């Protein structure tokens, strides 16, 4: 790890002024510090944003009077998983948070950090290899080790999004509020990752100096669920993950959204599947047809074809969980 300065910011303006040209914001630091130790990134300064005020903006989980849940960027994953209001009104989010890493990681990792973590592709994480995402000319996973790579991609890089929380937040229709060059901006979850879909060097759509403030989740979908499958039972990234959210009345589902993780650079959603399910009963037959629509056009590689039937099963199980 190269040397760097460490400073603490207490206000938004102070954070922006301390960042400089080659600085990074630090909350949990789970991903950032790992990249620094591997010499993948070498910022000159780390700006600690855990002490930012007001704490109600960055470190709070609260239900608003606009039928929404606001979660600050510095809230830990463990706090999300354990919060009574989250478990009551957003059970899928609590489930997804509970699947992140180990208890030790969840106690440190922040909401924003989970959303913005960088590629877990081993070619990107190998400091001696200049892959396409790190400025090289080749995506080595295309013809190499691609067991964990994407089934869908809009560019040559086939590294998928690995954030648990991005998948459930996409299904819930959440938005991310951030500060960019002194102004407030809002991005949907698909917008947060769309740059990674078209630009092989991007991990997300944030620009240098952008600071995530909080995430707002509408509460118009009363049921939600999250499922994932990993190789290990604990402390492992998902090979495929799935989240669903919607309303169920008289045995029929409405306003449903389904998102898949670890199969594309963005949380994978297909509007055709949502339209198909609207007003239909949730049973194995309709869930299976929705899964077919979600996976239509998948392009398995030499080693990741298993993701197609695995995703199909997870979609069915996640949708049927909305009936509970």
Q: Is 321 helix (H, G, I), strand (E, B) or coil?
A: helix
Nearest to 189 by CA among 176, 180, 206, 204: 176
Q: Looking at residue 65, what is its pLDDT?
A: 79
Residue with tokens 């990074």: 24
1-53 has which fold? 3.30.43
For the whole prediction, is pTM greater than 0.85? Answer: yes
Q: Looking at residue 145, what is its pLDDT?
A: 96
Domain assignments of the chain as residue spans, ordered by start? 1-53, 223-321
Helices marked H in the chain: 12-19, 30-37, 55-58, 77-82, 84-89, 91-98, 103-106, 111-116, 122-125, 164-172, 189-198, 271-277, 284-295, 307-321
Q: Looking at residue 161, what is its pLDDT?
A: 97
Q: Looking at residue 251, what is its pLDDT?
A: 85
In the chain, which residues have pLDDT < 50? none
Determine the distance from the C-alpha atom of residue 118 to the mean position of all C-alpha atoms in its chain, rounded to a whole number. 10
Cα torsion 311, 147, 102, 208: sign: negative
pLDDT tens-digit map of 35-47:
999 999 999 999 9
DSSP secondary structure code for residue 160 in this structure: P
38, 124 Cβ separation under 8 angstroms? no
Place domain 223-321 in its CATH homologous superfamily: CO dehydrogenase flavoprotein, C-terminal domain (3.30.390.50)
């Amino acid at each position: 790890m190269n040397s760097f300065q460490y400073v603490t910011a207490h206000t938004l303006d102070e954070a922006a002024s301390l960042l400089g040209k080659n600085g990074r914001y630090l909350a949990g630091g789970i991903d950032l510090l790992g990249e620094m130790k591997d010499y993948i990134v070498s910022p000159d300064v780390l700006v600690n944003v855990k002490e930012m005020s007001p704490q109600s903006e960055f470190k709070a989980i609260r239900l608003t009077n606009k039928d929404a849940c606001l979660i600050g960027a510095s809230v830990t994953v463990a706090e999300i998983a354990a919060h009574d209001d989250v478990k009551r009104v957003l059970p899928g989010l609590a489930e997804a948070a509970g699947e992140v890493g180990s208890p030790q990681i969840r106690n440190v990792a922040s909401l924003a950090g989970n959303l913005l973590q960088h590629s877990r592709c081993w070619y990107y994480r190998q400091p001696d290899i200049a892959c396409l995402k790190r400025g090289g000319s080749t995506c080595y996973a295309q013809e190499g080790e691609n067991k964990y790579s994407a089934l869908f991609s809009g560019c040559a890089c086939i590294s998928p999004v690995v954030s648990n929380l991005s998948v459930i937040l996409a299904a819930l229709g959440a938005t991310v509020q951030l500060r960019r060059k002194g102004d407030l901006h809002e991005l949907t979850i698909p917008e947060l990752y769309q740059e990674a879909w078209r630009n092989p060097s991007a991990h997300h759509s944030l620009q240098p100096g952008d600071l995530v403030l909080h995430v707002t989740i509408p509460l118009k979908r009363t049921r939600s669920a999250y499922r994932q499958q990993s190789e290990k039972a604990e402390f492992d990234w998902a090979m495929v993950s799935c989240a669903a959210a919607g309303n169920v009345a008289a045995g029929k589902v409405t306003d449903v959204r389904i998102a898949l993780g670890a199969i594309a650079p963005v949380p994978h959603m297909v509007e055709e599947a949502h339209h198909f399910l609207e007003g239909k009963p949730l049973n194995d037959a309709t869930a299976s047809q929705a899964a077919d629509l979600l996976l239509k056009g998948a392009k398995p590689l030499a080693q990741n074809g298993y993701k197609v039937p695995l995703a199909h099963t997870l979609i069915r199980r996640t949708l049927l969980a909305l009936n509970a």
